[in-house]
Amino acid sequence: MARIVLHKELFEYDTALRKTYPVLCGVDEAGRGPLAGDVYAAAVILSDNVLIDYLNDSKKLSEKRRELLYDEIIEKADAYCIATASVAEIDELNILQAAMLAMKRAVEGLGVSPDMALIDGNRLPELECPAENVIKGDATSASISAASVLAKVARDRYMREIAEKYPQYAFEQHKGYGTKLHCDMLKKYGASDVHRKSFLKKILG
């Protein structure tokens, strides 16, 4: 018999909040740290009767598990939206403001106005709806955890697509993060148009 892993505390956290805010939205981002690629964000609204086995902070899940959860979240969510801010916007605004912009776009793209948006971390994007920070929210709230999985998987898929266009950087391996391999390839080939120029000053001078 297969072992089922359900992190009930994540769902209980959201259930308690839905007594005050029936339409509860979780929001998280992926890709603030890499040297290349867009920053991604996702917003997810789950019903109170939805339970998703294995759902957890995306960083605690294997890539295979995240991929499976991605499809299940999309299937079971009342509403979801995945949004981005571009490399150009990151370089123009800075990464924090670009991540906030991606979160704002994700919430606005839901097609539903949440009663409350739960935002992972300690900063709030400018939203039309009420919003609240949740520190380590992807390990606290099921809705934020679901958003973290969608954002992470969508960004990883995007980086694999970029890798086909720029094979010399091996994006499929490091997803744009500043690994030794990535930094060596940057020094060898220079920056591409998908690199965040504002992140490369220490590496390329």
- For residue 138, being part of any structural domain is answered with yes
CB 195 within 8 A of CB 90: no
Asked if residue 18 is part of any domain, the answer here is: yes
With respect to residue 123, please indicate whether it lies within any of the assigned structural domains.
yes
- The answer to whether residue 121 is domain-embedded is yes
Question: Does residue 169 form part of some domain?
Answer: no
The CATH number of residue 30's host domain is: 3.30.420.10
Digit-by-digit pLDDT tens for the chain (205 residues) are: 445 678 899 999 999 999 999 999 999 999 999 999 999 999 999 999 999 999 988 888 888 999 999 999 999 999 999 999 999 999 999 999 999 999 999 999 999 999 999 999 999 999 999 999 999 999 999 999 999 999 999 999 999 999 999 999 999 999 999 999 999 999 999 999 999 999 998 788 6
Q: Tell whether 82 is covered by a domain.
A: yes
Burial profile 97-115: b = 16 or more Cβ within 10 angstroms, e = fewer = ebbbbbbbbbbbebeeebb
Number of structural domains found in the chain: 1
3-state secondary structure the chain: CCCCCCCHHHHHHHHHHHCCCCCEEEEEEECCCCCECCEEEEEEECCCCCCCCCCCCHHHCCHHHHHHHHHHHHHHCCEEEEEEECHHHHHHHCHHHHHHHHHHHHHHCCCCCCCEEEEECCCCCCCCCCEEEECCHHHCCHHHHHHHHHHHHHHHHHHHHHHHHCHHHCHHHHCCCCCHHHHHHHHHHCCCCCECHHHCHHHHC
Query: What is the residue range of 56's domain?
Result: 8-158
In a domain, 68, yes or no: yes
